Structures are given as C-alpha cells and as structure tokens.
Amino acid sequence: MIEPKSALGELLSPVAGFGVTISSMFKPTVTEQYPFEKVPTKPRYHGRHQLNRYPDGLEKCIGCELCAWACPADAIYVEGADNTPDAQFSPGERYGRVYQINYLRCIFCGLCIEACPTRALTMTNEFELASPTRSAMIFEKQDLLAPLADGMLAAPHPMVPGTEDTDYYRGSVSGPAPEQVDWVARWRPEDPSLATVTTARRTGEAAR
C-alpha cells in the first residue's frame, strides 16, 4: 500500500520535477554546429555499407544472399551468378552479380554484417546519405564496392594459381600473383589497375 504524501511533499513535488532542468542550466553547452563543425564518429559507428575485396582485387561477396535474408527491413537485394574461367569475380563458384541496398528502408542495425560468412559486407563511418530523389537512395553494387587499393587488380581475373577459396577466407592471399597480372595485361591491357600493381611492386623492391 502506498502512503499518501505529506502536505510538504505535495508542495515540493513541482520543484523536484524541475530539478533536472535546473541542474542542466548550469552545464556547458554541447550543441554541435553541424554541418559547419563535423565531429568524428565513433570507430564502430553504423554508417554506409561497403563491399570489400581481397588483397589481389577479387570481390569477397559470394552471392549467398544471407545478408538479404537477415535484413529485418527488406532493404537488401542480391542476385548471385556463377564464376567462369573468363569472368572470375570472386574466389570459388559464385559471386554477387547484382547487389542493392535501399537506404530508404535500411535501419542500420548491422544484422547483415553478422550474417555475412566472408566478411564481404561491413559498415563505414559515412553518415551523410541524403538525396533529392528516391531512386538515388538505392545504392547499386558499383556504389558499394570498396575502391581498389594500390597493388590490387580489378576483377574479373583468375584466382592465385594453386589456391582454393578457403585459402582466401583464411587470409593466405596477400596480393596479386604474376600470372594474374599477365592475364589482365593480355585481356585488358588498358586496365588502370595494372599501373598501380607495377608501381606497388617497384616501391616494394626499392624498400628491400
């Protein structure tokens, strides 16, 4: 049984209710002047998604669609396809031919990241996702793919000779092999990534 408040308690109840407000009046202002002052996000902030690559340039996504199944907002759409000897986009048999994320639906919960078996999908710290059109908020695969780092070869190209997809998953591949470079040079001699591979190798040899 709750005992009724005394007359003094009833009198001080409104004052106690303003206690938090009054105490906050004397604290320093923490307002962020966005967008003129942009405060860095926390390292584990859930921002825009990114499709990652292996060190040799092959894509990590295998088109398994587990991320789409895990998404509670139905914001992800994936279509897998088979790799071929002339078009090897990822290690193993399959790759993500179509990959879309609808940021009008995405709630940035991160469940898709937990579902991904190859760590192909991660989340960046980019949070400025705004557009005047609805269609621009549906990101395609080319919008989500991580940029090629120096020393990576643009897919498609064969896997490192003598390796299997499990070698990629375990991190045994550290970069493109000469056979991969020769394959790209033969079939796509104008590919810009060839220049970065050559530069990275020269830099590595000079450092030795």
Residue for token pair 């192909």? 120
For residue 105, is it within any domain?
yes
Q: Does residue 43 surpass a pLDDT of 50?
A: yes
Is residue 3 included in any domain, yes or no? no
Helix (H) or strand (E) holding 49: strand 49-51
pLDDT at 203 over 80: no
The answer to whether residue 10 sits within a structural domain is no
Encode pLDDT of 114-173 as tens digits: 999 999 999 999 999 999 999 999 999 999 999 999 899 999 999 999 999 999 999 999
Residue 81 lies in a domain: yes
User: What is the pLDDT at residue 207?
Assistant: 42
The per-residue pLDDT for range 162-184, each reduced to its tens digit, is: 999 999 999 999 999 999 999 99
In total, how many domains does the chain have?
Answer: 1
Q: Does residue 170 lie in a domain region?
A: yes
- The domain that holds 138 is classified in CATH as 3.30.70.3270
| Residues sharing a CB contact under 8 Å with residue 81, sequence separation 6 or more, in sequence order | 63, 94, 95, 96, 97
Does a structural domain hold residue 138?
yes
Output b/e per residue, 7-37; b: 16+ Cβ within 10 A.
eeeeeeeeeeeeeeeeeeeeeeeeeeeeeee
Domain that holds residue 54: 49-203
**CA triple 118-81-144, angle to 5 deg:** 55
174 lies in a domain?
A: yes
Q: Is 151 within the bounds of a domain?
A: yes
